Amino acid sequence: MLLTFSKSGVQGVPGIDQPHKRFEYKYSFKPPYLAQKDGTVPFFEYSGNAIASEESVRITPSLRSQKGMIWARSPTNFEFWETELQFRVTGRGRIGADGLAFWYTTTKGFEGPVFGSSDKWNGLALFFDSFDNDNKHNNPYIMGMVNDGTMAYDHQKDGSTQQLAGCLRDFRNKPFPVRARITYYQNTLTVLFHNGMSNNEKDFEMCMSVENVHLPKNGFFGVSAATGGLADDHDVLKLSVSSLRSPEIGEAPDPSSVIDADSKKIEEEFEQYQQKLKTQKAEWEKEHPDQVKSEDDDWENWMDESQKELQNIFQGQSAMKEILTDLHRKMDDIISRQERSFNAITAIQGGGVAVPQGQTGGQPKVSGESIRREEVNAILANQREIVSATRDIKNFVSDISAKTGQLLNRGSAQQIGGSVGGAYDNVVVVKEMKDSIINMQREMSSATTRLLSGQKQVQCPDVSNLTGCVSPMLFIGLGVVQLVIIIAYLMFKDSKETQAKKFY
């Protein structure tokens, strides 16, 4: 759910003026070229255990008792704003600590006890708390808190008695970066959250919305983080700040007139700065061709082994889910067709054949000889066998799905631990699946023989109001083709996992 905010909350509502939004680069940072060659971040300063690179700022590494922060150098010159914070919190343990905080305060914080920054601040703090200090099992938790410079943060209760609002959201160890969109407009604070389970930029959900929030007109933006006895990597990939101005200010100016000569000059300087950075990078690549790496290689090197493994497992499970969903849909379609044929033949057996369009009264028009009751019973028996075989195939596909999930989990456990027993279990599972497929083929062969013998004795009736009988050979052929596709996919997946194991 993607929302932008105006005078009373949502932008785009008829009858409500929309605010003017402008990107403020002096209060933002984002990749690429996030940090310069000397390690500095333009318009920002960082301290403590923070480390800046071209792609992100690691506020704290996954070591015990670490504190770090990054703050904008200059205060804002606008009252209302919208920020988007993109970050990752990753750790090897099931529980992480301590967490990450977003700040908007009248003064820049210094190293302190509140998520790496100082206590008794004046302004807004948005906490992404990973550790459960009050032992209420309500973490990870996102909480907003406004302070006037007199309150001390209550660590023992995780600030639960001091918060404006909050929401229970898990932001640790996600396959994609987590995002938070914080909007302050017309004294209304709104926080939207993206859980990082997809790469879709529109998958935001509401976390909190609080009215009558009064923040300082000018303040500093900052991000801090801290670790304790437990530790996580806290990486900030992007901090994007935009100013929001009401159209009523200045007698509702035209949006085109907002970009004045000064703003054009600043944009030109920014473009020149970007061109200069690209030129320096090209010169460096020419001087050091052996050290040049592609962006994909940089990304792979930046990710550790556990993150690569989680991403591969997530992508593999998504592909398996799509394939199995398609198979279930096709099997349901086949079953529905067989049941329609079964109902039509049942109607014939009971003497309730529907009258075709254009024919009024009388007996239904049937070409050929009349159908005997024994022939109808034989056709019904064949149709029941076809429906039963179809349901067996569907159950078999579900069994393959379950065993494939077990195989994927065991394969990931083998990559993490490097155990030989995991590979043996994979071989056993694959062998069991192949044996099940062979047994199913035997059953299908016997069912085909019975169906063919029944087809020689009884021919499908040629009824004008029916679409016709489904050929058993056509149905069995479709089932065999699907089984072959499943076997080929499993063998392909097994070979890919075997090749991937060589790199660990």
| Phi, psi torsion values for 181, nearest 5 degrees | -110, 110
Q: How far apart are CA 404 and CA 15, in angstroms?
A: 55
Q: How far apart (Å, rounded) are the C-alpha atoms in residues 143 and 231?
A: 20
Task: For residue 306, count CB atoms less than 10 angstroms from its CB and return exposed for 0-12, middle for 13-18, buried for 19 or more.
Answer: middle
Q: What tokens were used for 335?
A: 């079953």
Residue owning tokens 């923040």: 215
Other Cβ atoms closer than 10 A to 498: 12
The pLDDT of residue 281: 84
Q: Considering only CA atoms, which of 85, 94, 91, 95 is closest in space to residue 127?
A: 85
pLDDT at 303: 58
Interior CA angle at 306 toward 302 and 311, to 5°? 80
What's the one-letter identity of residue 193?
Answer: F
Class of domain 20-246: mainly beta
Q: What is the pLDDT of residue 146?
A: 95
pLDDT at 416: 47
Contact status, residue 471 vs residue 338, Cβ threshold 8 Å:
no
Task: Please report how many Cα atoms fall inside a 13 Å half-sphere around the Cα of residue 449, on the Cβ side.
Answer: 5
Asked if 188 and 211 touch (Cβ cutoff 8 Å), the reply is yes
In 200-357, beta strands by DSSP E: 205-211, 220-226, 233-245
Instruction: Tell me the whole-structure pTM to 2 decimals.
Output: 0.51
Q: What is the DSSP letter of 350?
A: T
Select from 23, 444, 75, 86 the least CA-distant residue to 241: 23
C-beta neighbour count of 342 within 10 angstroms: 16
Ranges of each domain in the chain:
20-246, 303-353+367-501
pLDDT of residue 124: 96
Sequence-distant (≥ 6) Cβ neighbours of residue 44 within 8 angstroms: 29, 70, 71, 72, 73
Q: Which residue reads 């500095």 in tokens?
A: 40
pLDDT in tens, the chain (504 residues): 334 433 344 443 333 467 889 999 999 999 888 898 888 999 999 999 999 999 999 999 999 999 999 999 999 999 999 999 999 999 988 888 889 999 999 999 999 999 999 999 999 999 999 988 888 888 899 999 999 999 999 988 888 889 999 999 999 999 999 999 999 999 999 999 999 988 888 889 999 999 999 999 999 999 999 998 899 999 999 999 999 988 765 444 444 444 556 677 787 888 888 888 888 888 888 887 776 655 445 555 555 667 777 777 877 777 788 888 888 888 888 888 878 888 888 777 666 544 444 444 444 444 444 556 676 777 777 777 777 777 777 777 677 767 666 665 655 555 444 444 444 555 565 666 667 667 766 766 666 666 555 544 444 554 444 444 556 667 777 777 777 788 878 878 777 777 665 554
Beta carbons within 8 Å of 119's beta carbon, 6+ residues apart: 112, 113, 152, 153
Q: What is the pLDDT of residue 504?
A: 46
Q: Do 50 and 68 contact (CB within 8 A), yes or no?
A: yes
